[in-house]
Structure formats: structure tokens, C-alpha cells
Structure 1
Amino acid sequence: MSTLKRDARMAGLIYLALTLVAPFRLIYIPGALFVHGDPAATAHNIGTHELLFRLGIFGDLLTGVISLFLTFTLYHLFKGVDKKLAMLMFVLGFMDTPLYFFNTINDIGALLAVSGSDFLASFDPAQREGLAMLFLRMHGAAISCAEMFWGLWLFPLALLVIRSCFLPRFLGVWLILNGLAYLALCLSGVVFPQVEDTISNIAFPLQLGEVAFVLWLVIMGARPRGGAMPAPVGG
């Protein structure tokens, strides 16, 4: 196996790990524990399934770590195409890691509120439930803000894919659409929350661009077109 193909497969496997781990806290935990419009039921579920909720917190931490390794691996894969563009991709992609780590503070706050720690003894159960819901809402709002970087880093990545001679250009075009979808989700989540669900439904097919990119890297790897790498750009 060539070095290029091996590096592409490695990046694909790390990206696949990210796509498998990230939805645990982002999708599974809310679906399993949160009850829309019912802070008491949500707090009860978190308290009853504390280990599951803690695993969700750890899942966010793990996602941040995997994301860091992913951006470095993709930088290594694409630096020969355009070093400056690859560095831009790395910087924008790197922002995912601190955002995930900082956002776990909101979940920890929700867990402390639900557990009724001694320093919250002056709060009655309804107040603690409301406080827990506040932290959960802040976690969700932080995700909407993070979608700004989830979208932005895909643009330099897409250009690198298009300029490379070892990946199909349609993947780069799809990644651009994927990035636009994330930016639309960020805008709706922060500015127009009343249409967030509608935008999410429209954006979903576009967000499959990352899935297609991951599967191509894992299954097909990198296959140089014309038998040669492009001359490095950006020194």
C-alpha cells in the first residue's frame, strides 16, 4: 500500500471514529433522557441514569480529542497540495476541540443541579430542575455556535480535495454544500430559532457530504489521477 493511500485510510478511520462517537451526546443522550417542555421529567431521567449522562460528557471529551487528531492527520495528507490552505483548515478544525471541552461544563452544571449537592440545599427541587434545564439549554446553544466552525473548516478542506489529484472533485463540491448547511444551522440556531427545525430538515441531505468523504477515504483511499501529485502550493 502506498504512503498516500495509507495516510488517506488513516484519516478516514479517524474521521469514521469521530462520526460514530460525536452523535452519542449530540443525538442519543437527548433522545434517551430529555423530555421536551418537562424539566422535572428530564431531571428525573438524568438522576436515574446518571452513568449514561456521564458517559455523554465523556463522549464530548473524546470527540474533542479525536477531532484534534483528525485535523492533524488531514493536514499531513493535504499539505503537499497547498500548505497554506491546509494550515487554514487545521486552524479552523482545531477550534472544535476547545469548544467541545468547554461545553462539557454545561453538562456538569446540569448534573450538579440534578444531584442536589449540599451547596444547593437552599434551592427547592423545582428550582434545581429549572437550573439543570438552563445548563442543558446553554449546552444546546453552544452547539449552535460551534456549527460556525463545523462549517468554516469544510471550505478549505473542500478546496484541497478539489485541487488534489487523488480524490474525486465531487466530494469537494459536496463538502462545500455541507459547510453551507452548517452555517445555515448556526444562523438559524442563534438568530432565527423559530425556523431551526425547518432548516435542519433541509440541511440534512447536504450534511451527508462528510459521510461520503469518510466512506471514500476508508473504502477507496487515495487514487492519484494522472499518476502524479500536484506541485505543492504555498511553500
Structure 2
Amino acid sequence: MTTLKRDARIAGLIYLALTLVAPFRLIYIPGALFVHGDAAATAHNIATHELMFRLGIFGDLVTGVVSLFLTFTLYHFFKDVDKKLAALMFVLGFMDTPLYFFNTLNDVAALLLVNGADFLGAFDQAQREGLMALFLRMHGQAISCAEMFWGLWLIPLALLIIKSRFVPRLLGYWLILNGLAYLALCVSGVVFPAYEDTVSQIAFPLQLGEVAFVLWMVIMGAKPRADGFAMPAQG
């Protein structure tokens, strides 16, 4: 196996880990525990399945760490193609990590309210449930804001893919559309929330660009361009 193909598969495996861990808090926990418009039922579900909710918090922390490793690995992989473009990708991708870490505080606050610690005695049950719902809503809004960077970092990554031709350029063009889809979701979630579900349905097939890229990197790896250009071997 060539160094290029090996490095591509390492990056692909890290990206695959991210795509497997991130949806747990992002998709599974809300679907399993949250009851839309019913704070009391949501609080009951969180209290009943506290370990699952705590795993969701831990999952966000792991996602932030894996995201940091991913951006560094992809920077290392593409830096000899275009160092400035790779640096831009790294900076935009790096923003994912602090956003995930800060957003766990909203879930921690929600869990404290559900458990009703002694220092929360000034709040009755209904007030604690209302505050819990507020922190969960803030978590969701923070995700909408994070989609700005989820989209922006894919643009320089896509351009690096197209420029390097280590993988099919079609994947690069698809990732551009994927990035634009995230930006549209950010705008709808922050500015036009009434249209968020509609935008989400339209954006879904475009978001499969990341999945296609990950699978290609894991299964096929990468190969030098047809004109013979290849990154220098790393020491």
C-alpha cells in the first residue's frame, strides 16, 4: 500500500468515526427522549434514561475531539497541494471543537434541572422543567449556528480535492453542494425557523456528499494524479 493510500484511509477512518459518533446526540437522543411541546414528559424521559442522556453529553465531547483530529489529519494530507487552502480548511474545521464543548454545558444544565439539586429549591417543578426546555432549545440553536462552520470548512476541502485529483473530482463538487446545504440550514435555523424543515428535506441528498467522500477514502483510498504529481513522502 502506498503512503498516499494509507494516509487517505487513516483520514477516512477518522472521518467515519465522526459520522458514527456525532448523530447519537444530534439525532438519536432527541428522537428517543424529547417530546415536542411537553417539557414534563421530556424531563421524565431524561430522568428515566439518565445514563443515555449522559452518554449523549459524552458523545458530543468525543465528537469535538475526533473533529479536531480529523481537521489536523486532512491538513497534513492536503498541505502539499495548497498550503494556504489547507490552512483555511483547518481553521474553519477547528471551530467545530469549541462549539461542541461549549454546547455540552446546555445539556449539563438541563440535567441538573431534571435532577432537582438542593440549590434549585427556589424553583418549583414546573419552573425547573421550563428552564430545562430552555437549555435544550439553546442546545438546538447552537447546533444551527455550528452549521455555519460545518458548511464553510467543506468548501476549501472540496477545492483541495478538485485541485489534487487524488480522489474523483465529482466528490469535490458534491462536497461544495454539501457545504452550501449546511449554510442554508444555518440560515433557515437562525433567521427563518419556519422553513427549517423544508430546507432540511431539500438539503438531505446534498449532505450525502460527506458520506460518499468518507466511504471512498476508507475503501478506495487515494492515488497520484494522472500527470504524475504526488505529495512528497512524509518523514
Q: TM-score, normalised to structure 1's length?
A: 0.97
Alignment-mate amino acid for residue 127 of structure 1: Q
User: Which residue in the other structure is 2:98 paired with?
Assistant: 98
Question: Are the counterparts in 1 of residues 188 and 195 from structure 2 also a CA contact under 8 Å?
Answer: yes
Please state how far the C-alpha of 1:210 moved relative to its aligned partner.
Answer: 0.3
| C-alpha deviation, 1:228, in angstroms | 2.0
Closer, same or farther in 2 for the Cα pair 1:75/1:231, shift >3 Å?
Answer: closer
Give, as a single letter, the amino acid of the residue that structure 1 aligns with 2:45.
Answer: N
TM norm structure 2: 0.97
1:109 aligned onto 2:109? yes
2:193 matches 1:206? no
Change (3 A) 1:231 1:4: closer
Tell me, which stretches of 5 or more residues in structure 2 are unaligned?
A: none
The one-character-per-residue Cα deviations of 1:173-206 (angstroms, maximum 9, x if unpaired) are: 0000000000000000000000000000000000
CA distance in 2: counterparts of 1:165 and 1:47, whole angstroms: 51
The number of equivalent residue pairs is 232
The Cα offsets for residues 117-174 of structure 1, whole Å up to 9 and x where unpaired, read as 1111111111100000000000000000000000000000000000003111000000
CA-CA distance at 1:96 after TM superposition: 0.3
Residue 158 of structure 1 pairs with residue 171 of structure 2: no
Residue of structure 2 in register with 1:175 after alignment: 175
Assess if the C-alpha contact under 8 Å between 1:64 and 1:97 holds in 2: yes
Deviation at 1:225, TM superposition (A): 2.8
Residue 22 of structure 1 corresponds to 22
1:217 counterpart residue number: 217
| Identity of matched residues, % | 82
Q: Map 1:49-198 onto structure 2 (within 5 A).
A: 49-198=49-198
Supply the distance in 1 between the matched residues of 2:47 and 2:165 (Cα, whole angstroms).
53
The answer on whether the counterparts of 1:165 and 1:228 sit within 8 Å (CA) in structure 2 is: no
Where does the alignment leave 5 or more consecutive residues of structure 1 unmatched?
A: none
Give distance in 1, aligned partners of 2:181 and 2:230. Answer: 30
* Cα drift, residue 224 of structure 1: 1.8
Give the AA of the match of 1:131: L
Deviations 1:23-62 (A, max 9, x none): 0000000001000010000000001111100000000000
Residue pair 2:224, 2:230 contacting (<8 A) in 1 also: no
What's the offset of the Cα at 1:229?
2.0
CA contact (8 A) 1:158 1:172 kept: yes
2:15–2:214 CA contact under 8 A, matched in 1:
yes
